[in-house]
Structure 1
Amino acid sequence: MDLQKNKVYRCQITDYTADGTGFAKIEGRAVFVPRTAVGDQCDVRIVKVTKNVAFGRVEKIIVPSAQRTAPACPVADKCGGCCYQHITYEEELRAKEKKVRDALTRIGGQDGAKLLGITGAPTTEHYRNKAQYPVGRNKEGSIVTGFYRPRSHDIVPVEKCLIQSETADKIAAVVREWMTEFSVMPYDYEKKRGTIRHIYVRVGEKSGESQLTLISATKKMPKLDVLVERLRAAAPSLTGILLNHNQRDDNVILGNRTDVLWGEPMLEDRLCGHTFLLSPEAFYQVNHAQAERLYACAVDYAGLTGEETVLDLYCGAGTITLALAEHAKTAIGVEIVPEAIENAKRNALRNGMENTEFFCADAGQAAQRLAKRGIDVLVVDPPRKGLDATARDAILKMQPPKVVYVSCDPATLARDVAELCGAGYTLEKAQAFDLFPRTFHVETVVLLSKLKVDHHIEIELKMDELDLTAAESKATYDEIKAYVLNKYGLKVSQLYIAQIKRKCGIIERKNYNVSKKEDAKVPQCPPEKEAAIMDALKHFQMI
């Protein structure tokens, strides 16, 4: 029977989705219920029904889960920033570890036991070193800052956020007061008019410094000198007050030009024993304590002896690159953001890391160009969308013995792991890290190694197969089979592969797989499988 919209059903929450929403089965239909905990028995009102799933909201908790707790945040049920304020931190870690393991098994096709566990954060409050507050007006017309409601551009006013730094909240309050007093309009995304779009604050966990970047849609504003004076008085930790110009029509936060209103253009902080200068554009992990643990794991997985050449794609300001350089012969960093690369070069000089090189380029294109350098270990820390096709192809062409993948999205990580493992790599181990307590985000480090066929694959070796041409030696039949199955979903036989090899002039022997019967009919490779095998031969550089 189909679920009825607006009708209330009693159910039990049995799991969480990837974004932290509670999951239940009601009359055989999957139902998603926000702000619930596994074990909750509750009455749920159905608010939307689609062909396959339904969405509901809690009307009443009948029996609360043992993992449920009272949210410390007063707007936890409205704000789109945190989704786990209502459960214990132990339950949150369990959910995140399961999320990573499920992705690796269901999407990646890997053994879930390879995930060794999750490393929890030492604190769940005021851990973020970066805040980007949207600015708007409430129903009464007052200027507010806060965070967007889920799937909305409506701002939930938040003056004191439990996961942001207290310094950031204090700076945002000063800007709000200045805007109100001098009639500085917040930017209206629907009407495409106004001035202040975002208030962007960064703090240095170890340095104690802070930096404000005011993001504006207009170049002129009244009484900026007054704002600077008030900010310096309210937040003595400020070392720079910047103005970023953004006149775009989309939701991208930073524009292309940044001017210094007062102080220094970059923030200084220390991470993993190194000092870093950070521009507003440079990527820097938001949780300092957990970032050090995350990077230590990445360096450990790299297994460096001091003789390796290491390539770090998506290097940001060079944080991982410098950590790797301490243990490698050469560490090369690649990043597409020019300001971040300039930061990385300066950071290497400041820390005396002479065995580093940095290039501003697209990750995939740079990897292709650097393939001839003989990369021993490849480290990647891509954005949430994961590796693009160019980067994956470059990695497979480069064939580094080890790939250390640092990911902020389990689903795209699992997709890329499946792709790499289907082309000859194997997942050795993985470790999850909670850098974002109270949100659904989670980081993971995995180690992939180039598959050693004689250690991992059992094959029946015939004597006539020992006479290999140079092309044949590049990939085994099992590797070609795995590649075709992973990319095209087709199963191909050894006979079909041999036929296509022969067509390409790779096999010249006449006695391979020939039946002793004179009138034996040999099945011929179908066109779609021939095309897939040809692609595999090109992929392994055999033709």
Structure 2
Amino acid sequence: MELMKNKVYRCRISDYTADGTGFAKIEGRAVFVPRTAVGDCCDVRIVKVTKNVAFGRVEKLVTPSSARITPACPASDKCGGCCYQHITYEEELRAKEKKVRDALTRIGKQDGEKLLGITGAETTEHYRNKAQYPVGRDREGNIVTGFYRPRSHDIVPVERCLIQSEKADRLAGIVREWMTEFAVPPYDYETKRGTIRHIYVRTGEKSGECQLTLISATRKLPELDRLIERLRAAEPSLTGILINHNQRGDNVILGDRTDVLWGEPMLEDRLCGNTFLLSPHAFYQVNHAQAERLYACAVDYAGLTGGETVLDLYCGAGTITLALAAHAKHAVGVEIVPEAIENAKNNARRNGAENVEFYCADAGQAAGRFSGIDVLVVDPPRKGLDETARDAILKMQPPRVVYVSCDPATLARDVAELCGAGYTLEKAQAYDLFPRTFHVETVVLLSRETNPLTVEVRMEVETGEVKEHPTYKRIQEYVQEKYGFKVHTAYIAEVKRMVGLDMHKAPNAVEQRKHEYHPCPPEKVEAIKDALRHFGLISE
């Protein structure tokens, strides 16, 4: 039976989607219902029907879930920042752990038991050390700050956010009052006119310092002296007031140029025993206490003994790199943002780390320049590893890869790619750095016992004959020369499994997995089989 738009159906919420939306089955159709909890029995009005799914809203909560609570935030049903204000924190952790496990099993095709669990936060309120408030006007024309309504540029006015620092809320309020008093217009994304786009406040959990950055579309602002005076009086911990110039037409928050209006250009804080100076552009985890636990796990998974060379891609201001350097012989950090690399170099000098180097480069391109890496650590943005970075990792073939991820889906995709090319997922641990939101961090350890791009020569004792066992690289070269196209190492591994090669017949082959990799195209299957016959690994 087809679902009818605007009709009300009774259902029970059975799960959550990746973004925290409730999920139910109605008449055999998947229906997504925001702000519901697993176990809710509710009457749902269908508001949209597509070919495969439908969307609804709660008309009546018939029987609430035992996990449901009254939201502490009055804007929780409007703001797009938090999606789990209406359930207990225990239920939120259960949902997030399941989200990571489902991604690893369904997308990554891995054993879900490799996820060892999730580490929750000690506090779910005022944990964020970074706030970026969009500025706009309400329907009456008043200047407001807050957060965007889901999937829109409409600002939900929020003067007190339960997950932002109280310092940030207070400073944003002062800027808002200054804008109102001196008629400083907020930027309008439709007309491309106006001045203040965002208010950006960063705080140091350990240092106690605070920094405010105004993101402005114009270079000249009225009565800045008065603003600076009021901000300093309201918050004695303020060490810097900056202005960032952004005249871009898109949604990118920070522009390229930042000037100091008063105080210091950098914010100082301590993390994992190291002191860091941070520019507004530098990446820094927003939950300090949980970040220390996350990084401690990454260092533990790296398994360092003091003699290793470690490469840290997407290193930001060098937070993970310096934590690794304390246990390694040599550590190298790579980041594409120039300001972050300057931060990282200064942070290394500041902490007396002499066994560290930092390079400004694209992760994939930089990875291809290094060899002899014992441990590779990656902490990519939400989109995960790009193809260049994945290919560079497979070319380097480090024995251990520690992957720190903020998105389970792209993590699972990359794990599938790497495991299909010879790596094994050893273990994983999830960490909740973003209570009340759907975001979750995960650390995984991938390892490989042999390097498939290294030639292995064996001496057959019985005959004294030396036999060369072909590597993946040799097979790739054979196929390229004879057939004129390239084959991925993952395809070679798949065909080796397909023809039943074991570790004795193919010492550098990938062991049998519990999952199937993306199917190799038939023409490439035949080309790889031809190469295996050519090298004597299979018979005619």
Same fold (TM over 0.5): yes
- Give the 3-state SS of the residue equivalent to 1:153 in structure 2: coil
1:471 alignment counterpart: 470
Partner of 1:422: 420
1:160 counterpart SS class: coil
SS at match of 2:101: helix
Q: Is contact 1:302-1:402 (8 Å) kept?
A: yes
AA partner of residue 492 (structure 2): I
Q: Name 2:395's counterpart in structure 1.
A: 397
| Residue identity in the other structure for 2:438 | F
What is the match of residue 531 of structure 2? 500
Task: Tell me what 1:444 maps to.
Answer: 442
1:80-137 CA distance string (max 9 Å, x none): 0000000000000000000000000000000000000000000000000000000000
- Deviations along 1:513-541, one digit per CA (max 9) or x if unpaired, are 24xxxxxxxxxxxxxxxxxxxxxxxxxxx
Q: CA deviation at 1:450?
A: 1.0
Determine the structure 2 residue equivalent to 1:388.
Answer: 386
The residue type paired with residue 530 of structure 2 is Q
The Cα shift of 1:138 comes to 0.6
Which residue in 2 is equivalent to 1:318?
318
Please state how far the C-alpha of 1:490 moved relative to its aligned partner: 4.8
Distance 2:495 2:79 in 1: 44
Q: Would you say 1:513 and 2:539 are equivalent positions?
A: yes
The amino acid of 1:93's aligned partner reads L
CA contact (8 A) 2:417 2:490 kept: no
1:287 aligns with 287
Cα deviation, residue 468, structure 1:
3.7
Q: Say if 2:407 is the partner of 1:409.
A: yes
Counterparts of residues 109-508 of structure 1 (less than 5 Å): 109-370=109-370, 372=371, 374-451=372-449, 468-469=467-468, 471-472=470-471, 480-482=492-494, 486-490=517-521, 497-501=528-532, 507=535
Flag the 1:350–1:472 CA change in 2: closer, same or farther, 3 A: closer
1:481 and 1:314 map into 2 onto residues whose CA distance is 29
In structure 2, relative to structure 1, the CA distance for the partners of 1:491 and 1:272 (3 Å cut) is farther
Task: State the one-letter code of the partner of 2:432.
Answer: D
For the residues of structure 1 that align with 2:101 and 2:495, how far apart are their CA atoms?
23
The equivalent of 1:540 in structure 2 is none
Q: Which residue of 1 aligns with 2:8?
A: 8
Contact 2:494 2:520 in 1 (8 A): no
3-state DSSP of counterpart to 2:186: coil
1:343 match: secondary structure = helix
Judge conservation of contact 2:420–2:490 (CA < 8 Å) in 1: no
Q: What code does the residue aligned with 1:499 have?
A: D
Contact 1:495 1:513 in 2 (8 A): no
Aligned-partner residue type, residue 392 of structure 1: R
CA-to-aligned-CA distance 1:309-364 (integer Å, 9 cap, x gap): 00000000000000000000000000000000000000000100000000000000
1:49 paired residue number: 49
1:491, distance to aligned residue in structure 2 (A): 7.5
1:487 and 1:310 mapped to 2: Cα distance? 31
Q: Is the 8 A contact 1:481 1:491 kept in 2?
A: no
Task: Measure, in 2, the Cα distance between the counterparts of 1:152 and 1:196.
Answer: 19
Checking the alignment, whether the CA contact within 8 Å between 2:83 and 2:436 is kept in structure 1 is: yes
Task: Using the TM superposition, give the Cα deviation of residue 480 of structure 1 relative to its aligned residue in structure 2, in angstroms.
Answer: 2.0
Pairwise CA distance, 1:452: 5.1
CA distance in 2, matches of 1:35, 1:498: 53
Aligned residue number for residue 98 of structure 2: 98
1:17 aligns with 2:29: no
SS in structure 2 of the partner of residue 211 of structure 1: strand
Instruction: Kindly indicate whether the alpha-carbon contact (under 8 Å) linking 2:310 and 2:374 is maintained by their aligned counterparts in 1.
Output: yes
Deviation at 1:478, TM superposition (A): 9.8
Task: Please state how far the C-alpha of 1:498 moved relative to its aligned partner.
Answer: 4.4
Q: TM-score, normalised by structure 1?
A: 0.88
Q: Would the aligned equivalents of 2:495 and 2:529 in 1 still touch at CA under 8 Å?
A: no
Q: Which runs of 5+ in 2 are unaligned?
A: 453-459, 476-488, 497-515
- Structure 1 pair 141–154 and aligned structure 2 pair: CA distance change class (3 A): same
The answer for the alignment partner of 1:518 in structure 2 is none
CA contact (8 A) 1:186 1:197 kept: yes
Structure 1 residues 428 and 475, CA gap change in structure 2 (3 angstroms):
farther
1:209·1:238 contact (CA, 8 Å) conserved in 2? Answer: yes
Once the two structures are TM-superposed, the CA of residue 56 in structure 1 deviates from its matched residue by: 0.3
Aligned partner of 2:151: which letter?
Answer: R
State the identity as a percent.
79
Q: What is the number of residues matched between the two proteins?
A: 499
Q: Aligned AA for 1:513? A: S
Tell me, yes or no, if the aligned pair for 1:311 and 1:378 is still in contact at 8 Å.
yes
One-letter code of the match for 2:197? R
Check 1:475–1:60 CA distance in 2 against 1; reply closer, same or farther (3 A cut): farther
TM-superposed deviation, 1:470: 5.4
1: CA distance between counterparts of 2:324 and 2:273? 12
Letter in 1 for 2:244: N
Q: Which deviations, in whole Å up to 9, do the C-alpha atoms of 1:139-162 show, x marking residues without a partner?
A: 111100000000010000000000
Looking at structure 2, the residues matched to 478 and 341 of structure 1 have their Cα atoms a distance apart, in angstroms, of 34
C-alpha distance in 1, partners of 2:538/2:212?
71
**Residue segments in structure 1 that go unaligned for 5+ positions in a row:** 455-461, 515-543
RMSD: 2.2
Distance 1:496 1:178, change over 3 A: closer
Q: 2:448 is matched by which residue type in structure 1?
A: K
Query: What is the Cα deviation at residue 499 of structure 1?
Result: 1.9
1:472 Cα offset (Å): 4.2
- Partners of 1:442 and 1:512 in 2: CA distance: 46
Distance 1:129 1:80 in 2: 19
Deviation at 1:497, TM superposition (A): 3.6
- Partner Cα distance (1:102, 1:232) in 2: 48
Matched, 1:38 2:50: no
Distance 2:219 2:472 in 1: 63
